[in-house]
Chains A and B, each alone.
Chain A
């Protein structure tokens, strides 16, 4: 039972344009979300998080949007750079104090120069 889903396994974007990565979840108990970036043969790197009390969080080129009613979040990267090419995982927790993170299946982003 995949509680966190990333329905697009891959995405190609031109350099300088916006990359939008989507994530849907089914567990209504989730209220803290994170995005990670992963290069091949490396561990994931934390990018940005958002709590359910917010609908938007921004950090530099990265913005995460949360739509609780739709159980949907998205990561916007603008402008996209070739170095952003990686696999992006969204992750969810039922509260900040909870330990186990549920990861999505990942979306491979390719930014074309």
Chain B
């Protein structure tokens, strides 16, 4: 299957700092990427939909000023957690949507474990 690379896999930061997570589709172009958050023993929660060349669409309850999303190219989306606090500690997962050949499959990155001290 297609490959989505997410970096870093783990980050530990101090409260108040900002953290950037990158998501790249390696073998297909993705006009749409998604950012999810997973809480322990819960399903994936969609945070926002990232569209190349336009503003991201945020789900209800997700602070767009806190979770900045940039989708500058067809293969790269970034999520920046600004002024991170301990409650932002979570597992963040990106996905990229492959629509080539009539498909509609989201391929996921390996996730980023964020720990805010």
**A interface residue numbers (CB < 8 A to B):** 32, 34, 36, 41-46, 49, 89, 93, 96-101, 103-106
Alpha-carbon separation in the docked complex, A74 to B108 (Å) = 22
Interface string of B64-81 (1 = CB under 8 A from A): 000000000000000000
Alpha-carbon separation in the docked complex, A66 to B111 (Å) = 30
Residues from chain A with a CB closer than 8 A to the CB of B94 are 43
Alpha-carbon separation in the docked complex, A103 to B44 (Å) = 7
Alpha-carbon separation in the docked complex, A96 to B42 (Å) = 26
Chain B: minimal CB distance from A15 (Å): 25
A-B contacts at CB below 8 angstroms, number: 54
Chain B: minimal CB distance from A11 (Å): 16
B102 within 8 A of A: yes
* Cross-chain contact of A43 among B49, B102, B110 (Cβ < 8 A): B110
Interface string of B39-55 (1 = CB under 8 A from A): 00011101001000000
Q: A43-B95, A103-B44 are in contact. Are A34 and B105 (CB under 8 A)?
A: yes
User: Does A43 contact B1, Cβ atoms closer than 8 Å?
Assistant: no
Chain A: minimal CB distance from B109 (Å): 5
Alpha-carbon separation in the docked complex, A93 to B95 (Å) = 15
Alpha-carbon separation in the docked complex, A41 to B9 (Å) = 9
Alpha-carbon separation in the docked complex, A45 to B110 (Å) = 9
